[in-house]
Amino acid sequence: MKYGYARVSTVHQELESQLQSLKSEGCEVIYSEKFTGTKTNRPEFRKLLSIVDEGDTLVVTKLDRLARNTREGIEIIEDLFAKGVKVHVLNVGLLENTTMGRFFLQTLLAVAEMERNIIIERTQEGKAIAKQRDDFREGRPRKHSKTQVDHALDLLANHSYTEVERLTGISKATLVRRNRERKSKEETNAK
């Protein structure tokens, strides 16, 4: 039997293109999930691994759908080879349980892991550069602009937090937090 496996790392990503490719390849049963590849306990993938048997073929669109690092990828594919399962990676071809097939697999997985590490390094470098800016803030972007918050904080001179919240739509908790930030900044600048 020909099985397909599709995976994306986050719930915001779409599986549709992988599913279409696997259907086009003639997969009779397709397992899919939205689960990070850095975890090995992916539920749908574990179900699939427990079902595939000798003579079956496992099809994925790219090698990194199976694993995110070389060691894990080799273990998974060697386990599949030991069961007599063929592995077909659509953008590479059929991986075979031969000396050349194993060499090719190790090389591909090492390249995939290197690419992932380069992405992580670039992200960290970009973050380090961004942290040098005065307006850098870790985490989710703020809902209200600096101008909106400054206006709301100025209103606090003549209005209560509850009134300003009603007038501006900025929550009391946010106003209190931002007012503390403003006072702290003013004290730092005064020194």
Active site residues per annotation: 9
Burial class (CB in 10 A: 0-12, 13-18, 19+), 41: exposed
Beta bridge partners of 60: 89
Q: Which of 43, 86, 89, 93 is nearest to 66 (CA)?
A: 89
Q: Which of 3, 1, 87, 78 is nearest to 48 (CA)?
A: 3
Maximum Cα–Cα distance for the chain, whole Å? 79
State how far the Cα of 110 lies from the Cα of 113, in Å rounded to an integer: 5
State how far the Cα of 161 lies from the Cα of 168, in Å rounded to an integer: 10
Burial class (CB in 10 A: 0-12, 13-18, 19+), 74: middle
